[in-house]
């Protein structure tokens, strides 16, 4: 039959394509190279595993245009600590990661590389101009593609599902091949790149990364061309769960959403309902609070009392020099308050997000080590001279603005898909600005003040309370405030810790407020009697050599803190933020390494940090 012939031929092509990209023809997970005794035994009190949940290789249309040569197998090799060729140079992490999800754009997935394949019909189209050596020609073609993607109009040639399906199989095969249960976890995923245009063709970021728990995934991805509306994306996820493994969507770059990400209306303009709120939280347990294009925790103008709020800010829309409107709906801390305001009205909180962080690098390598960063956007930011002198860009912010952030920390029993994905679902995760800072955060009504001094305190904390990402159990009415235990350990390679703060966002009768409490800090500093704030830790950074010394700060910090302003009638969100001492920013390290003047648009030093998932309090018991 001619039909079955066509399908067999396609199957044959797919398999031969897969064979082209992988040396081994094995499509099943490799047996772990460790003997049973080498594999780290499961820890019921959970270990912190660090990974990247947002990364683009040359399979993504924009990364390919930027001449990124890597593919998913390279990404996993780099994360595991192996050397990888990026733009002709060898790059290698100093310390490997524990897990990685490669999330190439669903839009035109795998199509752009075909413009360079003489056997593909795409190489005979105008799109092949992308590969032109004349930067003016390739830039014009790039602009055409980007405009199309941003306006949601798919080009029929590039959007041929054959390319997408073949590339999706490559993504799946690479994840399967590189998964080593107990040693290194891979997650199959992609990015849904929705950016509805506001007036004046301004793209408003609503992107989400889709992360699958296992390998039973749909045969096709879901792109913004299918729909830019998150509610339809959730339908795709719900269908995927019916026929295969569990899957979640993780939104990012609220800072570039022009107020849409945490809007009180849906994309179609309707007010948020209880159903919508519950559906959103069922599909999206976590939010990416920091990444290369800035952090979305808060902005100095929204949090004027937060002296640490000016950190890795990205203030334009993505792909546009227009400033983002961020007064509402853009930053997570404010959204926690708005979510509680909605909960008062409709009975459910649509922004009850756990927290994680990732890179969104378009290099195919998760180079989150501040002193080991080769650029992250292909030929746009690999020339130090250009990067350190550039203060503007057609794509929005200039490359100096990109931060070497971030990583997701997950508290899981072992390094497997099941264990780490379960941590995602119960929100026992935290985000960091790229360093391997470990932080634990627990809440209870009756922790003793010396909890953390006890010998097996972590077990006592789990037994007597709830970890990050949870709701406080209903407390006795009129009880004194909840007690929180927080602990953090520095990244052994990086700066000491300055302090741990607990940030509280509370809501009553439609009004929200925020306050920051310093809970633990290094040295013998005393809080200012007037402001209650602990003074700055100091600064050991030498700008001439881009080095620092750990003569200030602490290796480990911990504290047990009771909310002194607890109001049982108010909704409250509590989360912990850990700050390191100042260390040189990557741009400062580049300036010294390449003997170029400093570019201080983003400051020369930063205080790296971690943010935990919150613990929530609701006045009416659930």
Our CB check for other proteins shows the closer of 306 and 369 to be 369
Is residue 38 at the binding interface for other proteins, with CB under 8 A as the rule?
yes
Q: How many CB atoms lie within 10 A of CB 272?
A: 20
Query: Distance (Å, rounded) from C-alpha 64 to C-alpha 110?
Result: 9
Q: Which of these segments, 25-33, 279-287, 564-572, 604-612, binds other proteins (CB under 8 A)? A: 25-33
The owner of tokens 């937060």 is 306
Counting contacts by CB under 8 A, is residue 300 touching other proteins?
no
Closest CA to 506 of 385, 337, 374, 386: 337
Is residue 301 within the footprint of other proteins (CB under 8 A)?
A: no
Residues in the chain: 622
- For residue 410, the surrounding DSSP H or E stretch is strand 407-412
Q: Which of 12, 83, 321, 347 binds other proteins (CB under 8 A)?
A: 12
Of 127-135, 273-281, 328-336, 548-556, the window that binds other proteins (rule: CB under 8 A) is 548-556
User: Any contact of residue 162 with other proteins (CB under 8 A)?
Assistant: no
Q: Which of 601, 607, 600 is nearest to 543 (CA)?
A: 600
Pick 33 or 90: Cβ nearer other proteins: 33
Q: Considering only the stretches 65-73, 92-100, 313-321, 475-483, report the one whose residues sit in contact with other proteins under the rule CB under 8 A.
A: 92-100
- By the rule CB under 8 A, 40 interacts with other proteins: yes
- Binding segment for other proteins (CB under 8 A), chosen from 261-269, 298-306, 316-324, 484-492, is 484-492
Token representation of residue 22: 């992988």
Return the half-sphere exposure (C-beta side, CA atoms, 13 A cut-off) of residue 388. 19
Q: In this structure, what is the dihedral angle of CA atoms 439, 445, 448, 454, given to the nearest 10 degrees?
A: -40
Name the percent of the chain in helix, strand, coil, to the closest 5.
25, 25, 50
Q: How far is the CB of 488 from other proteins (least distance, A)?
A: 10
Question: Should residue 271 be labelled a site residue for other proteins when binding is judged by CB under 8 A?
Answer: no
Kindly state the helix (H) or strand (E) to which residue 605 belongs, with its residue range: strand 605-606
Between 229 and 383, CB nearer to other proteins: 229
Token code pair at residue 586:
């990557």
Q: Cite the DSSP H helix spans in 446-562.
A: 457-464
Element housing 287 (H / E): strand 286-288
> In this complex, which beta carbon is closest to other proteins, that of residue 508 or of residue 525?
525
CA distance 247 to 215: 11
Structure tokens given for 159: 């959007």
83 in contact with other proteins (CB under 8 A) = no
Decide: is 116 part of the binding site for other proteins (CB under 8 A).
Answer: no
Residues 506-535 close enough to bind other proteins by CB under 8 A = 522
Query: Candidates 28-36, 168-176, 266-274, 330-338 — which segment interacts with other proteins by CB under 8 A?
Result: 28-36
C-alpha 341/C-alpha 439 separation (Å) is 29
Q: 467: closest CA among 306, 358, 348, 614? A: 614
Shortest reach from residue 49's CB to other proteins, in Å: 9
Ramachandran assignment for 619, one of left (phi > 0), alpha (psi -120 to 50 degrees), beta (any other) = alpha
567 binds other proteins (CB under 8 A): no
Q: How far is the CB of 124 from other proteins (least distance, A)?
A: 12
Q: Kindly state whether residue 98 participates in binding other proteins, applying the rule CB under 8 A.
A: yes
List beta partners, residue 55. 361
- Measured CA to CA, the distance from residue 204 to residue 196 in angstroms comes to 5
Q: Does 34 bind other proteins (CB under 8 A)?
A: yes
Distance of closest approach, residue 410 Cβ to other proteins, in angstroms: 14
176 binds other proteins (CB under 8 A): no
**Piece in contact with other proteins (CB under 8 A), picked from 37-45, 330-338, 464-472, 598-606:** 37-45
Residues that contact other proteins, how many (by CB under 8 A): 47
| Residues within window 208-227 making contact with other proteins, judged by CB under 8 A | 218-220
Q: Least distance (Å) from other proteins to the CB of residue 461? A: 13
Closest distance of CB 507 from other proteins, Å: 35
For residues 264 and 342, is the Cβ–Cβ distance under 8 A? Answer: yes
Give SS3 for 309: coil
Q: Which of 23, 89, 94, 544 binds other proteins (CB under 8 A)?
A: 94
- Give the Å distances, CA to CA, from 417 to 124, 246, 469, 554: 42, 11, 19, 33
Smallest separation, CB 605 to other proteins (Å): 20
Stretch 403-442 residues interacting with other proteins (CB under 8 A): 436, 438
- Pattern 314-333, binding to other proteins, x per CB under 8 A? --------------------
Using the rule CB under 8 A, is 493 a contact of other proteins? yes
CA dihedral (292, 293, 295, 300) in degrees, to 10, reads 140
Is residue 23 involved in binding other proteins (CB under 8 A)? Answer: no
Q: Which is nearer to other proteins, 244 or 448 (CB)?
A: 244
Ordered DSSP codes for 328-367: SSS-HHHHHHHHHHHHHHHS--TT--EEE----BSSSS--
Please state, in angstroms and rounded to a whole number, the distance separating the CA atoms of residues 314 and 402: 8
Query: What is the contact mask toward other proteins in residues 236 to 265, using x (rule: CB under 8 A)?
Result: --xxx-xx----------------------
Smallest gap from residue 243 Cβ to other proteins (A): 6
For other proteins, which residue of 9, 137, 301, 449 counts as binding (CB under 8 A)? 9
119 touches other proteins by CB under 8 A: yes
Q: Any contact of residue 45 with other proteins (CB under 8 A)?
A: no
Tell me the closest approach of the beta carbon of residue 511 to other proteins, in angstroms.
40
Is 446 a binding residue for other proteins by CB under 8 A? The answer is no
Q: Nearer Cβ to other proteins, position 79 or 287?
A: 79
Nearest-angstrom CA–CA distance, 514 and 504: 6
Binding of residue 456 to other proteins (CB under 8 A): no
Q: Which residues are CB-neighbours of 356 under 8 A, at least 6 positions away?
A: 53, 250, 286, 287, 288, 289, 408, 409, 410, 424, 429, 430, 431
The single residue among 27, 42, 87, 96 that binds other proteins, judged by CB under 8 A, is 96
Contact residues: other proteins, CB under 8 A: 2-3, 8-9, 11-13, 15-16, 26, 31, 33-35, 37-38, 40, 81, 94-96, 98, 119-120, 218-220, 238-240, 242-243, 436, 438, 455, 487, 489-493, 522, 550-551, 554-556
């Amino acid at each position: 039959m001619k039909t079955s012939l066509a399908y067999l031929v396609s199957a044959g092509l797919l398999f031969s394509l897969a064979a082209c990209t992988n040396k081994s023809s094995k499509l099943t997970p490799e047996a772990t190279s460790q003997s049973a005794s080498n594999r780290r035994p499961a820890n019921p009190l959970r270990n912190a595993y660090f990974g990247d949940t947002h990364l683009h290789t040359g399979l993504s249309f924009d990364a390919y245009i930027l001449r990124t040569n890597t593919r998913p197998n390279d990404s996993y090799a780099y994360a595991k600590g192996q050397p990888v060729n990026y733009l002709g140079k060898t790059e290698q992490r100093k310390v490997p990661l524990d897990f990685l999800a490669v999330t190439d754009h669903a839009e035109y997935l795998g199509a752009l590389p075909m413009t360079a394949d003489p056997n593909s019909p795409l190489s005979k189209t105008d799109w092949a101009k992308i590969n032109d050596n004349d930067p003016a020609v390739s830039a014009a073609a790039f602009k055409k593609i980007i405009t199309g993607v941003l306006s949601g109009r798919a080009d029929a040639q590039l959007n041929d599902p054959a390319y997408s399906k073949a590339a999706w199989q490559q993504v799946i095969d690479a994840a399967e091949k590189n998964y080593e249960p107990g040693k290194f976890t891979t997650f199959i995923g992609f990015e849904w790149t929705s950016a509805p245009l506001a007036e004046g063709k301004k793209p408003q970021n609503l992107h989400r990364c889709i992360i699958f728990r296992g390998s039973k995934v749909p045969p096709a991805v879901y792109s913004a061309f299918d729909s830019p509306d998150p509610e339809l994306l959730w339908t795709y996820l719900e269908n995927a769960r019916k026929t295969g493994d569990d899957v979640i969507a993780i939104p990012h770059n609220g800072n570039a959403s022009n107020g849409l990400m945490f809007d009180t209306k849906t994309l179609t303009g309707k007010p948020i309902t209880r159903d919508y709120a519950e559906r959103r939280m069922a599909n999206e347990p976590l939010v990416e609070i920091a990444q290369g294009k800035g952090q979305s925790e808060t902005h100095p103008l929204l949090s004027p009392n937060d002296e640490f709020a000016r950190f890795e800010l990205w203030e334009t829309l993505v792909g546009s020099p227009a400033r983002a409107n961020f007064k509402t709906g853009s930053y997570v801390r404010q959204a926690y308050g708005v979510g509680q305001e909605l909960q008062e009205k409709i009975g459910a909180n649509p922004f009850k997000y756990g927290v994680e962080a990732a890179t969104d690098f378009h290099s195919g390598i998760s180079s989150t080590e501040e002193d080991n960063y080769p650029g992250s956007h292909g030929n746009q930011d690999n020339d130090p001279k250009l990067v350190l002198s550039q203060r503007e860009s057609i794509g929005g912010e200039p490359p100096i603005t990109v931060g070497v952030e971030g990583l997701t920390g997950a508290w899981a029993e072992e390094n497997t898909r099941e264990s780490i994905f379960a941590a995602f679902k119960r929100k026992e995760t935290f985000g960091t600005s790229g360093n391997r800072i470990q932080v634990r955060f627990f809440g209870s009504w009756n922790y003793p003040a010396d909890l953390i001094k006890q010998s097996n305190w972590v077990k006592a904390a789990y037994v007597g309370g709830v970890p990050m990402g949870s709701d406080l159990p209903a407390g006795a009415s009129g009880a004194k405030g909840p007690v929180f235990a927080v602990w953090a350990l520095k990244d052994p390679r990086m700066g000491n810790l300055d302090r741990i703060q607990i940030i509280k966002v509370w809501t009553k009768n439609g009004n929200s407020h925020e306050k920051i409490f310093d809970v633990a800090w290094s040295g013998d500093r005393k809080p200012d009697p007037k402001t209650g704030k602990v003074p700055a830790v100091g600064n050991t950074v030498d700008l001439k050599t881009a080095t620092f010394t750990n003569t200030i700060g602490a290796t480990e910090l911990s504290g047990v803190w009771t909310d002194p302003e607890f109001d049982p009638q108010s909704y409250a969100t509590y989360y912990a933020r850990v700050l390191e001492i100042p260390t040189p920013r990557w741009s400062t390290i580049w300036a010294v390494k390449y003997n170029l003047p400093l570019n201080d648009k983003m400051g020369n030093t930063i205080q790296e940090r971690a943010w935990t998932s919150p613990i929530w309090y609701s006045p009416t018991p659930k």
